[in-house]
Amino acid sequence: MTRERPSGRRPSRGAGSPRGWGLTARTVVVAIVVAGLVVAACSDPPSSGQEGGGEILTTGAPVTTDGSSDTTAVEGGDVVVASLVGVEVEVSNAVAPFDHHSVVDNLLLEFGLSRVRVGLKSDCLAAEGFPPIQLSPLPDRDDPILMVNRQFPYIEALARYGFPTLPGTPSSPDDFRERSEAETAASRQCAEEVDRIGHDAITAYELYASVRGPWESVLDEIDATDEIRGLVDAFGSCLRDEGIPADATASEGAFLGHVQSLLMATGVDESSWPEINERMGKLYAECGRELFEARERLRSGERREAFLREHEVAIRELSELLYDGGSSP
């Protein structure tokens, strides 16, 4: 078994987000750990991929995933994503997340689809005589790894417990195995072949990205409003009042970077991490609560309902594809 992306050992709070097949996600989950869930998804982006409630829509039974793909080969080489078994995912939340719980749907669906594609690529590599790709299971819905993010924080959990302290990702010899030119070429060719054939997983991701991308623009518009800009300033002022250096208070990302620097400053001694994470996480929730709640309010309601109506056809097509014609997994 091989891994295509070394992990090393480092504090498990990332400053960036996993991007699946190129779609920009707004979450700052623990990128180092999560990247291992879909280890090859970013190494060979699909040639055909995009960059990038109410009575609105009935999406049927929820999609589920526990990291193991249940795919069925059919005539012509297509793969039906018959079920992604385990954690329930609501499609309308996955394409238009507005709070912590809905962004978990978003992450699990994107990671799940990416993982199906990586599995297909792995099968192709094995057929060519090369070692298969090692895939880690997806996290459960309540895994602390999904709580640490910038734009969709789990406010109540952070206020009560602070940031979770997650273990670093230990490396293994396989992480650093050098691939031959032949294996590298085969990996690229297999990725192109998976995308060229047009498996249902590829189609599903394109449908997902065709809605998720425009929703990102809506989120940017909300963040540009005077209300949110003013609350970001208030967030920074609250942090400064609590003794946080000014250069770490300009935004949520700047503060999370400051927390990362505090962890890194401990060197190899990780015994103080729980205290740092608890104290800084509670402060994050305390100073940011009004900002975070305002974002959730502006992202939901009529504006989101109008967006879901606008993209109803694509959402329904994605739901039907994932549910194998609308049947419950």
Q: How is 54-78 classified by DSSP, letter by letter?
A: TTS----SPEEESS-EEEEE-TTS-
Candidates 189, 191, 198; CA nearest to 78 is 198
Measure the CA–CA gap between 29 and 256, rounded to whole angstroms: 11
What residues form DSSP beta bridges with 221?
Answer: none
- 3-state class (DSSP) for residue 274: helix
pLDDT, greater one: 25 or 142: 142
CB 24 within 8 A of CB 216: yes
pLDDT at 92: 95
How many CB atoms are closer than 10 A to CB 217?
Answer: 9
Candidates 233, 238, 239; CA nearest to 257 is 239
* Residue 70 CB-density burial (10 A; 0-12 exposed, 13-18 middle, 19+ buried): middle
φ, ψ at 80 (rounded to 5°) = -85, 125
pLDDT at 175: 57
Model confidence over 106-141: pLDDT tens digits?
998 988 888 888 888 888 999 999 988 887 777 888
The continuous run of DSSP H or E covering 114 comes out as helix 100-127
Measure the CA–CA gap between 20 and 41, rounded to whole angstroms: 6
Mean pLDDT of the chain: 75
pLDDT at 139: 81
CB 238 within 8 A of CB 298: no
Write the DSSP symbol of residue 83. E
Mean local confidence (pLDDT), 227-243? 98
Per mean pLDDT, which of 19-23, 177-181, 317-321 is the most reliable? 317-321
Model confidence over 46-98: pLDDT tens digits?
443 333 322 223 233 344 444 343 443 333 333 334 445 555 689 999 999 99
Please give the radius of gyration of the chain, using alpha carbons only, rounded to the nearest integer: 20
Mean local confidence (pLDDT), 223-236? 98
Instruction: Provide the token pair at 197.
Output: 């054939």
**pLDDT over threshold 70, residue 23:** no
The dihedral built from the CA positions of residue 82, 93, 22 and 137, taken in this order, carries a sign that is negative
φ, ψ at 146 (rounded to 5°) = -90, -5
φ, ψ at 172 (rounded to 5°) = -135, 160
CB 282 within 8 A of CB 264: no
CB 25 within 8 A of CB 49: no
Above pLDDT 70, what percent of the chain? 67
